[in-house]
Amino acid sequence: MADTENDIRAMATRFFDAIEQGDVDTVAATYAPGAKIWHNTDELENTREENIEVLRNMVRRSKSRKYTERRLQVFSGGFVQQHVLKAERGDGFKLHLPACIVCAVSNGQITRLDEYFDSAVVSAWRAGYA
C-alpha cells in the first residue's frame, strides 16, 4: 500500500490527537509492530512496547496534555512535526516542552520515531513522580 501525503497527514494528526486525549490504544495501533523509538537525550532505541508504557505513565500522571504550535511537514515516507507539548500534573506543575519529532511511515503506520527535546525540562517534570 502506498501512503499518500494526505494519508500520512491524517495519521500524524490522529497520533498526536490521541496522545492529547489519553487514548494510548490508538497510539499503539499507529505504531508498526517492530517500530523503533529514539530520543536525543539518551540516544537509545526503544521498542514500541516500551514507548507505549511511557505514554501510559504520562497519561496516568497528567491531568491534561496539549500539543500547541503544531508545524507538520509531510513528505513521501514520513513526516516531521515541531510543537510545544503542554501538560499539567495533578499537583499543578506545568510542562512546556518544545520538541521536534521525525517519523518514518510505511503502510499507514509509524516504523521509526526520532524525538528531539530538552532533557532538563523533562527531568523537572519527572521529579514530581517520586
Domain of residue 104: give its range. 5-127
pLDDT in tens, 20-30: 999 999 999 99
What is the value of pTM for the model shown?
0.91
Considering its fold, how many domains does the chain have in total? 1
> In whole angstroms, what is the distance from residue 25 CA to residue 98 CA?
25
Residue 2, pLDDT above cutoff 60: yes
pLDDT in tens, 42-77: 999 999 999 999 999 999 989 999 999 999 999 999
Answer for the pair 113, 37: CB distance below 8 angstroms, yes or no: yes
Q: How would residue 13 be classed by pLDDT, with cut points 50, 70 and 90?
A: very high
Supply the CATH number for residue 109's domain: 3.10.450.50
> In whole angstroms, what is the distance from residue 35 CA to residue 105 CA?
10
Answer for the pair 65, 27: CB distance below 8 angstroms, yes or no: no
